Amino acid sequence: MTDEAPLGPGAEFDMIRAMLERWGPRANGVGDDAAIVHVPRGDVLLASVDTAVETQHFRREWLTPRELGYRAVAAALSDLAAMAARPLGVLVAMTVPDAWLGDVAGIADGIGEAVAAVRTPVLGGNLSAGGELSITTTVLGSAFAPLRRTTARAGDIVYVTGSLGGVAEALRRLEHGGRGEPGGPGGPQRERFAHPTPRLAEARWLAERGATAAIDISDGLLADVRHLAAASRVAIAIDGAAVPCMPGVSHETAQHSGEEYELVVTASAPIDVKEFARLFGLPLTEIGTVSAGEPGVTVDGQRVAASAGYDHFSR
Amino acid sequence: MTDEAPLGPGAEFDMIRAMLERWGPRANGVGDDAAIVHVPRGDVLLASVDTAVETQHFRREWLTPRELGYRAVAAALSDLAAMAARPLGVLVAMTVPDAWLGDVAGIADGIGEAVAAVRTPVLGGNLSAGGELSITTTVLGSAFAPLRRTTARAGDIVYVTGSLGGVAEALRRLEHGGRGEPGGPGGPQRERFAHPTPRLAEARWLAERGATAAIDISDGLLADVRHLAAASRVAIAIDGAAVPCMPGVSHETAQHSGEEYELVVTASAPIDVKEFARLFGLPLTEIGTVSAGEPGVTVDGQRVAASAGYDHFSR
């Protein structure tokens, strides 16, 4: 890239240089004090940040370094999907303990895989030493009319993409079964944990077809629907039996499984779920309705308690 | 703020809520999946990320929680100053060990102080548990014509803002003297370590008066001038005696002191240093010249080795 600023000397720069070589054209504009990004005229900028910390979000033996890098960035990109944005690029700040130095190349490959899958560049980053591996990803995107959490309205239909529960089931098996190689004790659901897909194209399609609000599932379906209901100041009724479950997963598990990175969207008129499935090879399922009333969520008429979902600070 | 999305339940949200209360109008747009930011028409977006990790970048006994929060964000904002950008906002991802939970309010106050000082909002963030305190700040800014590292040209004059060496001297005293209260063993230079000022207004003023390139001093004057020389593919000669030193600091210390967050700028014609000092209460000092030739830096004719400066991965 002719626009690149050649990097200076030092071991930190050598590591950055090695990552840039692995990324090739997937890195863009790295090397100055800040990355220069062109936001499409008329669009607003969307920005979000997400952190994956060793021991809090994953255990080293569960994922390959490549999967780890992929997953950190894909999870962060999911926040752009929830706003129906087009990605403009990512910045990655990594804290790398000595014991992980040999895995940086693998992690970089996973980051490269995640950005390539959505055709967006790595714009910049930061490398620090530290006592635990940590990957903080800032995602930048743009949209003419972003989908909000605040805009679900009484009368809307609630949809969810994909099939839920695989992540919780994979984590349950990994916690009991040790290492998580493909085909190993993570089971068939492991791929859902190791390789989440940010639903970016799906979200833009849904926004173009009249979706009124959206959120991605990071804390668990019911917890995130609660966030949506609170933000939009509406009541949401979920039909428990309608929640799409991965094979071998209970409805209960599907309703609470976190870090799924599927989307919950509301729409004021029915969306063509067959067309969605045909285009994206993914189910889109009607699971509930929005009404006026005290903000909150019910499943089959039962109110969902505030504690539903995963919370890193409630241990 | 009418545009805010009310947050959902849970202890993590309670902590975020407590921080938002402390920030008041200094937080803006927090609560959706991503922050919505309006980039001024005609400007490019500038984005950078910076991490402060306990034990790597500071010791707990050296700084108050408020100073820690202030310093992390001010240091990140300095990268926008180096591009002569106007800040649009910051996103803060914090990893908080149990032992630090009581200090989160103080850290939040320092973050609030840093953004208020440059009149920019906190746009979003992330909170995680973890084994060591870590603050990763993403800064977003915009500029019509950002100042690059790549654009210093033969014949340019080299300037530096402020007086250097105070940070290294404060760190030397803190490393020997323990706690770093104001008036304590950090000495009169402690303020330079605890309370750096991103030179945002100064940078824009310099850019308007013909500055050709800039970099901020994070690795040390000579190391960062090397980065500038490498990026611009020029030779830079520094007059060692001209480097402005804080009282009580040697020229050697001033030349290598890192995390100063002063600016090195180049300009093709002389800049009115008296007017600069009058406007900003800060010296602007001519310290060298740019010429064609092998990229690199000399001080009083002596070539600067590649190892100059601080490097988190060379321990």
Paired strand residues for A86: A142
Q: Are A48 and A80 in contact (CB under 8 A)?
A: yes
pLDDT higher than 60, residue B311: no
DSSP letter (8 states) at residue B168: H
Q: Are A223 and A259 in contact (CB under 8 A)?
A: no
pLDDT higher than 70, residue B20: yes
Contact of A290 with chain B, judged by CB distance below 8 Å, is answered with no
Decide which of A139 and B181 is more confident. Answer: A139
Over the stretch B129-180, which tens digit does the pLDDT of each residue have? 999 999 999 999 999 999 999 999 999 999 999 999 999 999 888 888 755 4
Residues 247..286 of B with a Cβ closer than 8 Å to A: which? none
Sheet of A35-37: strand order equals: A35-37, B44-53, B134-143, B86-96, B122-129
How close A183 gets to chain B, by Cα (Å)?
30
From CA B116, how far away is CA B195, in angstroms rounded? 14
Residue showing tokens 């109110």: A303
If you average pLDDT over residues B47-67, what whole number do you get?
88
Chain B residues in contact with A126 (beta carbon < 8 A): 49-51, 136
What is the pLDDT at residue A180? 46
How crowded is residue B299: how many other Cβ atoms within 10 Å of its Cβ? 22
Reported confidence tier of residue A30, pLDDT bands at 50, 70, 90: confident
CA distances from A286 to A283, A290, B34 (A): 10, 12, 25
Over the stretch A162-199, which tens digit does the pLDDT of each residue have? 999 999 999 888 888 755 445 555 566 889 999 999 99
Helix axes A200-208, A65-81, angle to 10 degrees: 10
Closest Cβ opposite residue A313 in set B39, B51, B129: B129
Over the stretch A218-275, which tens digit does the pLDDT of each residue have? 999 999 999 999 999 999 999 999 999 999 899 999 999 999 999 999 999 999 999 9
Contact of A222 with chain B, judged by CB distance below 8 Å, is answered with no
Q: Are B313 and B225 in contact (CB under 8 A)?
A: no
Q: Are A221 and A256 in contact (CB under 8 A)?
A: yes
The proportion of chain B whose per-residue pLDDT surpasses 70, expressed as a percent, equals: 90
Over the stretch B184-201, which tens digit does the pLDDT of each residue have? 555 668 899 999 999 999
Instruction: Tell the burial category of B183 from Cβ atoms under 10 Å away from its Cβ (0-12, 13-18, 19+).
Output: exposed
Contact of A42 with chain B, judged by CB distance below 8 Å, is answered with no
pLDDT averaged over chain B? 90
From CA B98, how far away is CA B133, in angstroms rounded? 9
Residues in chain A: 315
From CA A138, how far away is CA A126, in angstroms rounded? 11
pLDDT higher than 60, residue B308: no
What is the pLDDT at residue B3? 42
Two structure tokens written together for A260: 């799924």
Reported confidence tier of residue B220, pLDDT bands at 50, 70, 90: very high
Contact of A149 with chain B, judged by CB distance below 8 Å, is answered with yes
The proportion of chain A whose per-residue pLDDT surpasses 90, expressed as a percent, equals: 77
If you average pLDDT over residues A110-136, what whole number do you get?
95
What is the pLDDT at residue B2? 32
pLDDT higher than 80, residue A107: yes
Contact of A134 with chain B, judged by CB distance below 8 Å, is answered with yes
Two structure tokens written together for A187: 């089971």
What is the pLDDT at residue B136? 97
Name the amino acid, one letter, at B250.
S
CA-nearest residue of chain B to A41? B41
Question: How many CA atoms, within 13 angstroms, populate the side-chain half-sphere of residue B291?
Answer: 8
Name which of A33, A132, A215, A313 to mutate to probe chain B: the one with the most chain B Cβ atoms within 10 A of its Cβ.
A33
pLDDT higher than 80, residue B58: no
CA distances from B187 to A26, B163, B165, B170, B253 (A): 47, 16, 13, 6, 15
Name the amino acid, one letter, at B198.
P
Contact between B132 and A128 using a beta-carbon 8 Å cutoff: no
Over the stretch A58-93, which tens digit does the pLDDT of each residue have? 788 889 999 999 999 999 999 999 999 999 999 999
- The rounded Cα B120 to chain-centroid distance in angstroms is 15
CA distances from B6 to A51, A146, A236, A249, B24 (A): 22, 18, 16, 32, 14
Closest Cβ opposite residue B91 in set A138, A214, A314: A138
Name the amino acid, one letter, at A117.
A
Q: Are B141 and B101 in contact (CB under 8 A)?
A: no
CA-nearest residue of chain B to A138? B138
Q: Which of A19-28, A201-210, A276-285, B170-179 has the lowest mean pLDDT?
A: B170-179
Question: pTM for the full model?
Answer: 0.92
**Contact residues for A2 (Cβ-Cβ < 8 A; gap 6+):** none
Hey, CA dihedral for A284, A288, A289, A295, is it positive or negative? negative
Phi, psi of A160 (to 5 degrees): -135, 145
Q: Are A135 and A94 in contact (CB under 8 A)?
A: yes
Alpha-helical (H) ranges within A118-263 are 166-177, 190-194, 200-208, 221-232, 251-256
DSSP letter (8 states) at residue B314: -
Q: Are B261 and B282 in contact (CB under 8 A)?
A: no
How close B27 gets to chain A, by Cα (Å)?
14
Question: How many CA atoms, within 13 angstroms, populate the side-chain half-sphere of residue A40?
Answer: 13
pLDDT averaged over chain A? 90
Reported confidence tier of residue B1, pLDDT bands at 50, 70, 90: very low
Name which of B216, B313, B315 to mutate to probe chain A: the one with the most chain A Cβ atoms within 10 A of its Cβ.
B313
Q: Which of A47-61, A94-108, A139-153 has the lowest mean pLDDT?
A: A47-61
If you average pLDDT over residues A293-313, what whole number do you get?
80
Residue A112's SS3 state is helix
Contact between B134 and A134 using a beta-carbon 8 Å cutoff: yes
Whose CA is closest to B112, among B213, B230, B27? B27
What is the pLDDT at residue B178? 53
